[in-house]
């Protein structure tokens, strides 16, 4: 897929979108390097239907922008969100936990009215 002109994308101020903690920033860097992603890769975050609470978080690495993507950067991490997921994720903080309760990225979403026990799904 060809990257479209920036006019087709939205560039969003990071203060209105997802904050990236230091621990998440460090883990993103480790994964980008160990999984050998291209140098222009970014974190793609989204929401899809599913899970025990109705909506599930998605987090992947990508290097191609799509029409309607919203692009921003926080704490040195480039984050891209599709237009559909944007309103569900405004104000969310992305953290990484390596503690006894399990390893993984954690979404702290102020918009969620309910989350499941594992933290992978939520409802609004």
Which SS3 state, helix, strand or coil, does residue 5 take?
Answer: coil
In a domain? residue 28: yes
Strand order in the sheet with 19-20: 19-20, 93-97, 104-108
Q: How many CA atoms lie within 13 A of 20 on its CB side?
A: 21
Whether the Cβ atoms of residue 88 and residue 111 lie closer than 8 Å to each other: yes
Straight-line distance from the first to the last Cα atom of the chain, in angstroms, rounded to the nearest whole number: 33
Asked, for residue 31, whether it belongs to a domain, the answer is: yes
113 within some domain: yes
Distance CA 20, CA 11 (A): 17
Say yes or no to pLDDT of 17 above 50. Answer: yes
Nearest to 37 by CA among 65, 60, 55: 60
Instruction: With a cut of 90, say whether residue 54 has pLDDT above it.
Output: no
Strand arrangement, sheet containing 121-123: 10-11, 70-74, 77-81, 42-49, 55-62, 121-123, 114-115
Q: What is the extent of the structural domain holding 54?
A: 6-123
pLDDT of residue 122: 47
pLDDT score recorded for residue 48: 84
Considering its fold, how many domains does the chain have in total?
Answer: 1
CATH of the domain at 91: 2.60.300.12
- For the segment 56-108, what is each residue's pLDDT rounded down to a tens digit? 889 999 999 999 999 989 999 999 999 888 888 888 899 998 776 667 888 88
85 located within any domain: yes
pLDDT class of 4 with cuts at 50, 70, 90: very low
Determine how β-strand 121-123 pairs with β-strand 55-62.
antiparallel
Is residue 1 in a domain?
Answer: no
Whole-model pTM: value is: 0.75
């Amino acid at each position: 897929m060809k990257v479209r002109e920036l006019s087709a994308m939205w560039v969003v101020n990071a203060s209105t979108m997802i904050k990236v903690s230091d621990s998440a920033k460090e883990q993103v860097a480790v994964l980008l390097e160990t999984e050998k992603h291209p140098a222009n890769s970014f974190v793609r975050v989204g929401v899809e239907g599913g899970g025990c609470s109705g909506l599930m978080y998605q987090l992947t690495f990508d290097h191609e922008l799509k029409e309607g993507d919203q692009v921003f950067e926080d704490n040195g991490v480039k984050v891209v969100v599709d237009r559909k997921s944007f309103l569900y994720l405004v104000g969310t903080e992305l953290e990484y936990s390596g503690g006894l309760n399990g390893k993984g990225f954690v979404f702290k979403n102020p918009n969620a009215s309910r989350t499941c026990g594992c933290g992978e799904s939520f409802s609004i």
